[in-house]
Structure 1
Amino acid sequence: MLYQLHEFQKALLQPMSSWARAASQAFIDGSNPASKVPGSDRLAASYELLYRLGKDYKKPEFGIRSVTAHGHEVAIHERIVIAKPFCNLIRFKRFSDDVETIKNLKEDPAVLVVAPMSGHHATLLRDTVRTLLQDHKVYITDWIDARLVPVEDGEFGLDDYVHYVQEFIRTIGAKDLHVISVCQPTVPTLGAISLMASAGEATPASMIMMGGPIDARKSPTAVNNLADQKSYEWFKSHVIYNVPPNYPGAGRKVYPGFLQHTGFIAMNPQNHLQSHWDFFQNLVRGDEQDAESHIRFYDEYNAVLDLDSKFYLDTIKTVFQDYSLPNGTWEVAGELVKPQDIKKTALLTIEGELDDISGSGQTRSAHALCAGIPKDSKDHYEVACAGHYGIFAGRRWREKVYPKIKTFIREHQNTKKTATRTAKSA
């Protein structure tokens, strides 16, 4: 019933939001007499803020048309490599007319970015992708809103997530691939690569894990505490709802994106209130650059997707209540996940000093679990003064984190190729 009430409220707000948008435009249109009214700038700002608070936020586009790579501007074409019911594997193909640039592009390492399925779209990693494209061939998992997936396509659980990641790695080719997992997917990605190693399959050249709950017992945050304090049955009965009839996934049981969004806001309500107040003030002052920055952020932040109930509940139990991965008890489709079997994949873990979603030490715990990886193939980096989003977006990501990742990938890319050449010579 809550989902239906949310849809009803959204439908009620749409006319008001559209009217507020029209009113805002009227008060800033120089040819309109309304713009001459005293205080019209404040009225326009008020209506614009009202419009943005009430509008419906759709999934944004990546919108990456070009980047600078190897000293030249190269065109970017976004295309789907694999289309599955709950996820599309997307490649950002780079093109150039310069012969030398084309040669350099071909020699760049391939990177698979495993985006989080935690309420936001993969476009939240736009800055991550754009930066990586300067020096890498980039693929990303683009998870599909569960309310858009028909019931006939079945459920999607944590095991399915692991199998999707494995399929994507095999499709791209594990040999020279570097896998970057951001936040939530650090666990299923480590599970996927562990199982591949246990089966004797080729594993990626490196895995880079950023701000994820490998061991959620360490430095528990508000997110961890909520999952730990409530029972599995509580989550099943209080936050799972059926998708309404007006969506393709009608009848599917989901954890609604609007609940996750409410949770995000509730973690830092004062910060969001201040941000909206600053936006209002910027509009009044005519500070278009800062106002546009606010709009870009909240267009992304407010666009949320639903999660299939099985995946959500599996994650709550496996990751945040049973701690199955660090306890060595996690099984995927009946197979025990053994990170210690990984021996040929380098490991880099990254944490933000001020991360309030994945606490200090949660990601770093992967080092102890991956006991089979040689010490000289492991590294850890703590980003000073960075929160959760700062490790994969913004200035700190571009100036501090990315150079570390780029160097790590190049070191282990070259190590693998050198080892191969040496073996062939022998």
Structure 2
Amino acid sequence: MLYNAYELNRALLSGASALASVTAELLNNPALPFGYSGLSPVIASALDVFAHAAAPRGKPAFGIAEVVVDGMAHPITESVVLRRPFGNLLRFTHPGLAADAPRMLIVAPMSGHFATLLRGTVARLAERMEVYITDWADARQVPLEDGQFDLDDYIDYLIGFLEHLGPGTHMLAVCQPSVPSLAATAVMGAAKHPCRPASLTMMGGPIDTREAPTSVNDVAVTRPLSWFRHNVIATVPLGYPGAGRKVYPGFLQLAGFMSMNLQTHLQSHYQIFQHLVEGDGEGADSKKSFYDEYRSVCDMSAEFYLQTIEHVFQKHSLPKGEFVHRGKPIDLGAITDTAILAVEGERDDISGIGQTKAALKLATGLAKSRKEYLLAPEVGHYGIFNGSRWRGQIAPVVERFVETHRAREQARG
């Protein structure tokens, strides 16, 4: 009933959004004189804000046309190199890359948003690296016959992607996938797998959520797992390829994120309104672009979501040494030659300071010379992987870290 109620509400808002958009355009039409007098510009701006907020959204495109390296523009080629039911592997490259450019696998979060949320991450690293990214599927689009997808499957997907890319690949995980990425690295390290990552960078990841708990952690631990199973898990309705699949709907995740910083989001929309009233379309469009991406959400499989709540936030299985993969305990001490970089933001309100850094202590078999930590000053969660501070301060550290540890690739043969 939850999902059906949402679909009905979405249909109603879609119609209202279209009507508001048309009305705003009429009031702003220079051929109509009433658009220049009275409250018409104010009403048109208000309707425009409502139309944008209520408009339905699908999966965005990466849309990275080119990158500029040393003052020269290079066209980006995007392609799918591996297709799997719950996620494809995308490749971004350009003709200006060095023949021996490092390969970087970016592991996007499976947390309600599409991989395109990391568009800025991809664009910046693609300047000097051959970039690959996990393009996770919207669970409501995956037919039931394709089976389930849980944490074990997530780890298997990462191992499979690394095998496809071959030895010497570097890996970067943003937020939620830091846990399965670290686990996959340990599994491959224990097996001395030739395709284990040359380096692993984790950014704002919940490795040990007992460190500096945030409101996200508080929500996850104040209720039993049964509450989440009975209150936030829904069934995909008819009309979608995944009809009948149990999921954690993306619209619930978005509502949760919005409520955490409701005042900030309300202020942002008021600023859009002000820009429109003042005729500053460019200022309004910049904020609209952010929300176009932010409101584009997808569903997660119920089993993956519930296991994440249980093992990452409630039981702290990985830092306690109790996390298992396919029935076998995961030993983080088995990571002996994959260099680890932990990146945290000083103002991160999703993953608190120390949660990602904990990985450096847990990797007991890794030499200190292969561990590095960066605390980005005055940077929030989103700013770790997008925006000016990511491009100018954090990405250069990641690039230097990768280059520092590339010598190991030759040593592995």
Query: Normalising by structure 2, what TM-score?
Result: 0.97
> Structure 1 residues 278, 71: CA separation in 2 closer, same or farther (over 3 Å shift)?
closer
Q: Which residue of 2 aligns with 1:195?
A: 187
> Which runs of 5 or more structure 1 residues have no equivalent in the other structure?
96-100
Aligned partner of residue 83 in structure 2, secondary structure? strand
Runs of 4 or more above 6 Å deviation? none
Amino acid aligned to 1:176: G
Q: Which residue of 2 aligns with 1:81?
A: 81
> Which runs of 5 or more structure 2 residues have no equivalent in the other structure?
none
Shift of 1:327: 0.6
Amino acid aligned to 1:317: E
Shift of 1:248: 1.1
Q: How many equivalent residue pairs?
A: 412
Q: Which residue of 2 aligns with 1:370?
A: 363
Aligned counterparts of 1:240 and 1:207: Cα–Cα separation in 2: 32
Q: Which residue of 1 aligns with 2:178?
A: 186
Aligned partner of residue 380 in structure 1, secondary structure? strand
Aligned partner of residue 237 in structure 2, secondary structure? coil
**Are positions 1:117 and 2:105 aligned together?**
no
Q: Which residue of 2 aligns with 1:139?
A: 132
Q: Which residue of 2 aligns with 1:156?
A: 149
8 Å Cα contact 1:218/1:362 also seen in 2: yes
Shift of 1:417: 4.8
Aligned counterparts of 2:291 and 2:379: Cα–Cα separation in 1: 20
For residues 125-149 of structure 1, give each alpha carbon's deviation from its aligned partner in whole angstroms, at most 9, with x where no partner exists.
0000000011110000011100111
For residues 363-415 of structure 1, give each alpha carbon's deviation from its aligned partner in whole angstroms, at most 9, with x where no partner exists.
000011111111111100000111111110111111111111111111111x2
**Are positions 1:270 and 2:229 aligned together?**
no
Amino acid aligned to 1:182: V
> Structure 1 residues 286, 241: CA separation in 2 closer, same or farther (over 3 Å shift)?
same
Aligned counterparts of 1:394 and 1:263: Cα–Cα separation in 2: 23
Q: Which residue of 1 aligns with 2:58?
A: 58
Shift of 1:256: 0.5
Shift of 1:287: 1.4
Shift of 1:70: 5.1
Stretch of structure 1 that moved more, 377-386 or 288-297: 288-297
Aligned partner of residue 172 in structure 2, secondary structure? strand
Matches within 5 A, 1:223-302: 223-302=216-295
Shift of 1:93: 2.6
Q: Which residue of 1 aligns with 2:304?
A: 311
Amino acid aligned to 2:187: L
Aligned partner of residue 372 in structure 1, secondary structure? coil
Q: Which residue of 1 aligns with 2:94?
A: 94
Aligned counterparts of 2:142 and 2:9: Cα–Cα separation in 1: 23
Aligned counterparts of 1:351 and 1:30: Cα–Cα separation in 2: 49
Aligned counterparts of 2:329 and 2:110: Cα–Cα separation in 1: 23
8 Å Cα contact 2:198/2:409 also seen in 1: no
Percent of aligned positions that are identical: 45
8 Å Cα contact 2:212/2:354 also seen in 1: yes
Amino acid aligned to 2:172: I
8 Å Cα contact 1:70/1:135 also seen in 2: no
